[in-house]
Structure 1
Amino acid sequence: MKILVTGAAGFIGAHCVLRLLSDGHQVCGLDNFNDYYDPQLKHDRVDWVREQVGDFPLAKVDLADAEALDALFECEQPQVVIHLAAQAGVRYSLENPRAYLDSNLSGFLNILESCRHHPVRHLIYASSSSVYGANQHTPYSVKDNVDHPLSLYAATKKANESMAHSYSHLFGIPCTGLRFFTVYGPWGRPDMSPIQFARAIAEGQPLKLFNYGQHQRDFTYIDDIIESIARLVERAPQPAPDWNREQPDPASSMAPWRIYNIGGQQPVALKDYLALLEKHLGQKALVELLPLQPGDVLNTCADTSDLALATGFQPRIELDEGLGRFIAWFRDYYPLRSAHSPFMAGL
């Protein structure tokens, strides 16, 4: 099929493009190559994909530019849209909240409008485990309440799910939302903990562990995320025949709309995660323990039973194996250099 991948130069997006092209799909990409982090990493990801599977069209378009986005849909006529572009980062949303309105809300509305006016078979879009917010009942189920987000980033992702439902109901757009749980692996974002921690350890710089290192996170290796997406591409949701308005299921609908968790199902304490990184790097970390930061969720753990029922697949790569693969890439890609300030980790 012809598939449009937004955020195609991003961490998940580049891996997704590689897999879809390898599977024989026709892929067109979109990315705005913004400077939230070094755009060179984005260009290097694209080069990595092209070296393995050849060239693919990649448009430099900002999601907030409705006219340019609609023109791209008109030109490419995608059958499936995998929407991975967004302004990421919980802590950055405390510093620059308006960036999240432009990309995650206005940009997502533009995606929905383009899917409305250029009908697609399936819209798959990235949500986040952060939507569970103040909910402390784990493992998180797609049937749980998500009415108490703890950051603006989480609130925009919850809003995306609601916006998608309204368009699915009104215009019959089959929509699948994916709540990702702490994705890591080669070509990851440099604002996330794997790269920040690895660089700090390798360079002998202090790193800051918030909540005194007591966080638990359900880490998900990138290949498991991509396998889940690949299996869902041709599984466009249908209206749930037994959906009950008096006892509504939050994960399904009378519209062609679904929500799935994608997580490793094995939460790991931040201190244990750090110990694995130390093992693979062969070096000890210099650690500064600090209190909980605003917007942070204490613990995450995914219930992926709905994903398994829909696709026959659940994430399976253990953290020790995944971090080993990540560190092998890290050593190859990042030159070790001196730094003069501690790394701030974004879990």
Structure 2
Amino acid sequence: MAWKQGVDLANMVKEAKVWAKSGKVADYIPALAEANPDMLAVAIYQGTDHCFLAGNVEEKFTLQSISKVLSLVLVLMDLGEDVVFSKVGMEPTGDPFNSIAKLETNKPSKPLNPMINAGALAVTNMIQGSTTEERLHRLLRLVHQLTGNEKITFNEYVANSELETAYLNRSLAYFMKQHGVVEGDIEELLDLYTKQCAIEMNCMDLARIGYVLAHEGCDPITAKRIIPLHIARIVKTFMVTCGMYNASGEFAIRVGIPAKSGVSGGILGAIPHRSGIGIYSPALDEKGNSLAGIKLLEVMAERYQLSIF
């Protein structure tokens, strides 16, 4: 796949950027409401000597729900599939990502999948460690391995903003504790979860993570395996079926690549055996996905035949 650096990618960004005006930044987390809604940036990583960029790619943003991919990788490596999927299911949902409805109606009352908030809370609860700091450190260490950037950490301002307003996530966590899905202190879980969501990086870092997933968990420089093959495949499958909230089916038809979005406006993409993609554009559609980011991926997918289907 021969990407044209500069003009071609910049033109696609320009074409998609007009859609940002129809979106709205996430304001239920006060810190995220401060983002510039007109921004759109993309990085496409194809290996050590091939990273194609357009827009303000060095702008940092918090991962939010994209972090669910990373926490799932970590607990699967720690505990294995049987333990993890005894607490969280594997099925898509047509409900919003923060819905409690399915927890009330499902028997047993475990979350449908790890990409909705309830499922992500259950997964984060399984991160190993004796303290919040140790558990966060283990997650950040994985991030450092995937990106090759040991400077990445979490944004304390955003994490505090999320923690102070995490009423619905608290409700989800307490409901699951009542039904034995999560264990331990709920406030400690929320502290870890909000810090996880506030892990901060730029599009280039995100594209590098996508590349590792696209290449079955292998580091692009050393070729050493960071993520076991079967776990990389599990995670990419969840990205296809559940990664774009309750718009995942439409996204699979229109774009057709494993992807995960976050309400900060980030999108992680992994084109199997080819490229990693990192996109940032904080103006969201009504389902919580980056509006201009999705439009950009649609343009790219059509022009370069990216769909895996």
Larger Rg: 1
Would you call these one fold, judging by a TM-score over 0.5?
Answer: no
Higher RCO (CA 8 Å, separation ≥ 6 residues): 2
**TM-score, normalised relative to structure 1:** 0.28
**TM-score, normalised relative to structure 2:** 0.30
